[in-house]
Structure formats: C-alpha cells, structure tokens
Amino acid sequence: TTSNFPSGNNGTGSVNTRVDIPTTNMSMANGSVAFWVYRPSGTTADNQYVGFSASDDSQASSEFFIGYYGNSDNVIVFSRGTTALNLRAGSIPTSVWSHIVYTNDTSTGNKVYVNGVQVTPSYTSGSSSSSVFTSNVSFNKCTIGGNKDSGNYEWGMIGNLQQLLIYDKTLSQADVTALYNGGKYGTPSTTNLLRKYELTSNANDTSGNGHNGTVAGSLTYTSLAIPQGTGTWTG
C-alpha cells in the first residue's frame, strides 16, 4: 500500500496532487533525502517529476528539489540559490520500485545513490564538490510531489512514493545500504531523522517529531503487491 501521485505537468499551471509539509527546522547545510519511487510506464515526457522540494513560492530563483527526469530516466537534483546545481544520475526504470538517496556534506560535496549503489552524475551546473542542500535556498514551502515556483505548483510527481525520509546528517554508504536492504517496509535508523513520511495511508510524520503533512488534491493509496528486498523467495 502506497501513495499514488497522478499529477505531473510541464511546469505551467497547478499541480493538484501534492503533500505540503511544515518548514520547521528544515534549513540544513548537511543532510540527506531518501525515498522509494515506483515509476509507471508512459512517464517519458520531457518533464521533471519532483519527489521533494524546498522553494520560495514568490520567486523563480530560489528552489531545491530532487526527483527524476521523464525522458532520460535519470535522478535529477536541481537548485537555484547561493550555489547552482543541476545534476542527472543513475537510471529509474518503469514498473518497478527504485530507491533514491541524495546526500550533502559541506566538506565533501554531494552524492547520489540508486538502489543502494552510489552513481556518478553528470553536471550541467555545479560539480560533485558543490555543497548544496536546503540551506542553499531561501524557502517558505516544502512539498512532496511537486515544487512551488512564482506562485504556482509545478513539476508534479507521476508515480508512487513511499517512506520519504529527511535526515539532518550526511548518510554514509553503510547507512544507504541499510535503508535499501530494509525495503519499503523496513525500519530506518532514527539517528538524526528529522522527518519520516511512510505515505501508506496518510501523510503523517512518523519520526516522532510530529511534522504532519497536508494532502491537497487527489492523492490516493493503492495496493502494489510487489515484494522488495534482497532475500530469496521460494514457492
């Protein structure tokens, strides 16, 4: 059971399906975002599909988001703030679950992991040594499944999201491996865990910090009977 975001658009107009989450304590220089995404077939347009964003809804030059790019299958991380960053990395296939992690460290820069493995991005702006996380931008909105820019929500997610985690620390390779091996229904580490949105039946924050999200639009919870994990299944 997981949340389905059916929106998506080309950057103009409104995204009707999204989860707005509180911005409290969300400005961080060192941090990590992790989530599972199920990308349906047909998401091949030249669109960005946003999983998580922090943005200033009154201007176009202050935004940070992570998601995937429809026509290239890549993870995308984009930021316009004190440091510009535009990267693509890895591959998000259709009709299966994929695990995405983005980390940042002020000393060593940014990293991207797909299904537990660190991948090498290509950079249109910035580089692997660029230090970019939410403190890179001024923001008054944090959103799951879209990005608010110049008064409009845009780049709505198409697909299913589950267990979106936000840490105020830089996850290590061991941390990322543990998250991936734990699967969508695993119990992630609570050390420095700031937010945890399971998105299985509601948009509540189950990290213990109480920053529950507010659902807007036609967010639905559907059953996808696809086991995720590294074990061997015998029938």
Q: Residue 183: left if φ>0, alpha if ψ -120 to 50, beta else—which one?
A: left
Rg (CA), the chain: 16
DSSP string, 184-223: TTS----TTEEEEE--SSS--B-SSS----EEES--EEE-
Give the mean pLDDT of 63-80. 92
Q: Are 162 and 3 within 8 A, CB to CB? A: yes
pLDDT digits (tens, 9 = 90+) for 20-44: 999 999 999 999 999 999 998 878 7
Which is higher by pLDDT, 89 or 229? Answer: 89
Please tell me the predicted confidence (pLDDT) of residue 30.
97
pLDDT of residue 11: 54
The average confidence (pLDDT) of the chain is 89
pLDDT band at residue 226, thresholds of 50, 70 and 90? low
Position 137 pLDDT exceeds 70: yes
Question: pLDDT for 166-214, tens place per residue?
Answer: 999 999 999 999 999 999 888 999 999 999 999 999 999 999 999 999 9
Helix (H) or strand (E) holding 58: none
CA atoms within 13 A on the CB side of 57: 14
Cα distances (Å, whole numbers) of residue 66 to 33, 89, 149, 152: 8, 11, 15, 18
The answer on pLDDT for 47 being more than 60 is: yes
Sign of the dihedral defined by the CA atoms of residues 20, 21, 24, 25, in that order: negative
At 225, is the pLDDT very low, low, confident or very high (cuts 50, 70, 90)? low
* pLDDT, tens digit (0-9, with 9 covering 90-100), for 84-122: 999 999 999 999 999 999 999 999 999 999 999 999 999
